[in-house]
Amino acid sequence: MYDYDLLVVGSANADLVIGVERRPAAGETVLGGDLATHPGGKGANQAVAAARLGARTALLARVGDDAHGRLLIDSQRAAGVDTVGVLVGGAPTGVALITVDPSGDNSIVVSPGANGRLAPADVRAAVSLFHTSRVVSAQLEIPLETVVEVVRNLAPGSRFVLNPSPPRPLPGEVLAACDPLIVNEHEAKVLLGEVCVSEEPADWARLLLAKGPKSVVVTLGAEGALVADAHGVGSVPSVTVDAVDTTGAGDAFTAALAVRLGAGASLTEAAGFAARVGAAAVTKRGAQDSYPTAAEVEALCCAHPGDTPRTPGTRSDSVPGTSERGETL
Ligand code: ADP
């Protein structure tokens, strides 16, 4: 019997956002609007997204003993996340300093802070969380050696989901544990490096699969997603929505996918649900503030009964030897 549907191991950041007329050049000072402080970080985002959907969720993360750390813990608790695994101290809470100009272009400086101090020993000390969680998800805003320790501590029968963001080369041990590895276009290209000469997402999916993960999901923004495993490559249509802000959509997608896989769905079914959650998330501003409840995901589907689901064009269909497994939403 599992206590948690999902254990997220990852980052928690305070996003400090200032609107500016023009982003400053070297040596320049510009005046901006009022500071807005939002809870963020990929780990914290995923945990909130999962809990909002009704999943029993725990977060293993590290924050500083400061006001930003308290803000992050409060936002996790407000969403229903169990924060028993959130460690405090060692460095200031991670922050992202974000300036946004009127066109929406931004410049971001990230100080990993306490996220960089989430150590392999912290994973070992939290082994009871691993033994009571059906699915474990991670990202790469924490040290890579900590992610390696996560895969070494997975309980038999639990499933590991990785969004390698920000992307960097992964050891075979981590790749082999992924079921699935979830990447967007940028992450796919960085992980494939020079191996990738193709612009076809179905090729990225196949080449990534050859690196060892049990399955791969490639997210394609408004174009939906591709899933790939030993049975072939299939497409998952996106849901047509009026996108307002795509911040954190990938985190919502990953959390929803992990939760659905844990509930026994197939990869294609889980990715279809995740695409609905990702679509719902882009209809509202912000990251965590935009994440839907299960009822809101339902309502989104019902609000578009006549929609023809968009598929990623001929991408997967045009590649010989692939099977089309996209589902109708
Ligand atoms: P990331 O945020 O990591 O770059 P994507 O932009 O690919 O990830 O978005 C993740 C998922 O969210 C997509 O696969 C899709 O299902 C959904 N999504 C993102 N943008 C849109 C959009 N404009 N319309 C509908 N769904 C979207």
Tell me the C-alpha distance between 195 and 315, whole Å.
19
Taking residues 288-293, report their average pLDDT. 94
pLDDT higher than threshold 70 for residue 245: yes
Tell me the C-alpha distance between 290 and 305, whole Å.
22
Phi then psi for residue 236, to 5 deg, are: -120, 115
Residue 220 CA, closest ligand 1 atom number: 7
pLDDT higher than threshold 70 for residue 261: yes
Q: Cite the beta strand spans of the chain per DSSP E.
A: 4-9, 13-19, 36-40, 57-63, 86-88, 94-100, 106-111, 133-139, 159-163, 178-183, 216-219, 225-229, 232-236
C-beta 234 within 6 A of ligand 1: no
pLDDT higher than threshold 60 for residue 86: yes
Q: Given this model, what pLDDT does residue 286 score?
A: 87
Q: What are 200-237's pLDDT values in tens digits?
A: 999 999 999 999 999 999 999 999 999 999 999 999 99
Tell me the C-alpha distance between 139 and 242, whole Å.
28
Specify the residue for token string 């490639």: 218
Active-site annotation holds for 15: no
Q: Given this model, what pLDDT does residue 303 score?
A: 63
C-beta 216 within 6 A of ligand 1: no
How far does the centroid of ligand 1 lie from the alpha carbon of residue 252, in Å?
Answer: 9
Q: Which CATH superfamily is domain 4-22+34-303 in?
A: Ribokinase (3.40.1190.20)
For 268-306, b/e burial (b = at least 16 CB within 10 A) is bbbbbbbbbbbbbbbbeebbbebbbeeebbeebeeeeee
C-beta 224 within 6 A of ligand 1: yes
Eight-state DSSP code of residue 314: T
pTM of the complete model: 0.91
The closest of 254, 197, 205 to 228, measured between CA atoms, is: 205
The single residue of 179, 251, 289, 307 carrying the catalytic annotation is: 251
Q: How is 2-57 classified by DSSP, letter by letter?
A: -SEEEEEE---EEEEEEEBSS---TT----B---EEEEE-HHHHHHHHHHHTT--E
Tokens of 140: 């790469």
C-beta 139 within 6 A of ligand 1: no
Q: What are 296-318's pLDDT values in tens digits?
A: 999 887 665 444 444 443 333 33
Best residue for ligand 1 mutational test, from 161, 186, 245, 282 (most atoms within 8 Å of Cβ): 282
Atom 5 (ligand 1): residue with closest C-alpha? 221
Share of the chain residues as helix, strand and coil, in percent rounded to the nearest 5: 35, 25, 40
C-beta 241 within 6 A of ligand 1: yes
Atom 2 (ligand 1): residue with closest C-alpha? 250
pLDDT higher than threshold 70 for residue 75: yes
